[in-house]
Amino acid sequence: MRLFIASGFSQQLTERVKELQAFAAPRFGKAVKWVEPENLHLTYVFLGEVPEAMAPAAARGVERAAGLFQRLPVRLNGLGAFPALDKPRVLWLGLAEERPGTLKELALKLSEALAAEGFMFEFKFEPHLTIGRVKTRLAPALTGELGRKAAGLEAQSVIGSVEVIESRLTGSAPRYSTLYSGRLR
């Protein structure tokens, strides 16, 4: 099983992202593969390929960590890219928090709980929402235009749960299935 730990977003936030993608799609053409709205999420930990028998351990780790946190209000906070905006491979939107640092703290507690359950993974967390994967080099004017549009996006969401998600790779887009959902207080 290919597993990751993530949270979803409100319909309002998803709609704003869809609007941004609709604005960008004709400008970028086939240079960017946009993330399907139903697949938008905030990844805390990517576990990768694990034996199916480990899924309950992932659920225990999520349950232990999620229960330590209150619901977390977030809002969109501008465009970013990995590795950088001048040479993007992944386009993303940042997330601003009502209580700065809480998402990183949640991600750290999740990673600690999952490690205690026997999972091994690389832990690198930056609160963001991936919106597209770049397939060819982009003109700086395009990323600048997208950045200006993203800066004007106003959308909020509340992180109320953390999910264990199975990712199945298909030809056109991954298909995600929630295996477990741990509620925040």
**What 3-state DSSP class applies to 59?**
helix
Q: Which is the catalytic residue, given 4, 41, 66, 165?
A: 41
DSSP 108-150: HHHHHHHHHTT---------EEEEEEE-SPPPHHHHHHHHHHH
Catalytic residue flag (residue 41): yes
Task: Tell me which residue of 48, 119, 129 sits closest to 91, measured CA to CA.
Answer: 129
CA distance 146 to 45: 28
Task: Kindly state the tokens that stand for 115.
Answer: 């490690």
Q: Which of 58, 128, 155, 167 is catalytic?
A: 128
Pull the structure tokens for residue 100: 């700065």
Q: Which two tokens stand for residue 41?
A: 């999420």
Rounded Cα–Cα distance for residues 169 and 66 (Å): 27
- Catalytic residue status for 128: yes
Q: Which residues contact 64 (CB under 8 A, 6 or more apart)?
A: 113
Q: CA quadruple 141, 25, 153, 79: dihedral positive or negative?
A: negative
The residues annotated as belonging to the active site are 41, 128
